[in-house]
């Protein structure tokens, strides 16, 4: 029996928005200076506005695709999707979908940067931390706002 998965597009939009806000804070006031140092950028570095616009568009598309996958993942974790029992609290599915997406897909890619691109462990920590927090926020939004 195929499960029927309903996507809440407003929740997906909110998840994308949360990723943008968390990214602004994470790579701005929280860890921006450390991230720039680990990337080998000077504190005076000012990105080209056209490059920033392009990067923001790519980031929004990426957050949108991630939110769609997380929305499906949240639904797949729920026994009720499969007519297989009673659901646990919503935060269970928000956490599962976010954590297992992070540990199974994001962490291995980021470890590749350490292994093959000579990226520092500190940069790995900054980027991995951002992705975990952003995925958890998006997962919770999608789990609670069905």
Among residues 19, 23, 3, the alpha carbon closest in space to that of 11 is found at 19
Of 48 and 123, the structure prediction assigns the larger pLDDT to 123
Best CA proximity match to 6, nearest among 68, 83, 96: 68
> What's the CA gap between 98 and 23, in Å, rounded?
16
88-115 pLDDT per residue, tens:
999 999 999 999 999 999 999 999 999 9
At CB < 8 A and 24+ separation, what contacts does 84-92 make?
A: 90/140, 90/143, 90/144, 91/140, 91/143, 91/144, 92/143
**pLDDT one-digit tens code per residue, 56-83:** 999 999 999 999 999 999 999 999 888 8
Query: Could you read off the pLDDT of 14-62 as tens digits, one per residue?
Result: 999 999 999 999 999 999 999 999 999 998 888 899 999 999 999 999 9
């Amino acid at each position: 029996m195929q499960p029927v998965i309903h996507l809440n597009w407003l929740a997906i939009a909110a998840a994308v928005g949360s990723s943008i806000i968390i990214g602004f804070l994470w790579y701005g006031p929280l860890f921006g200076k450390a991230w720039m140092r680990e990337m080998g950028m000077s504190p005076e570095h000012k990105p080209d506005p056209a490059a920033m616009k392009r990067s923001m568009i790519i980031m929004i598309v990426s957050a949108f695709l991630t939110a769609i996958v997380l929305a499906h993942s949240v639904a797949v974790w729920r026994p009720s999707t499969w007519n297989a029992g009673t659901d646990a609290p919503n935060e269970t599915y928000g956490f599962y979908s976010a954590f297992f997406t992070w540990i199974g897909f994001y962490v291995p890619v980021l470890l590749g940067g350490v292994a093959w691109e000579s990226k520092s462990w500190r940069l790995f920590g900054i980027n991995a931390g951002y992705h975990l927090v952003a995925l958890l926020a998006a997962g919770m939004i999608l789990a609670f706002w069905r």
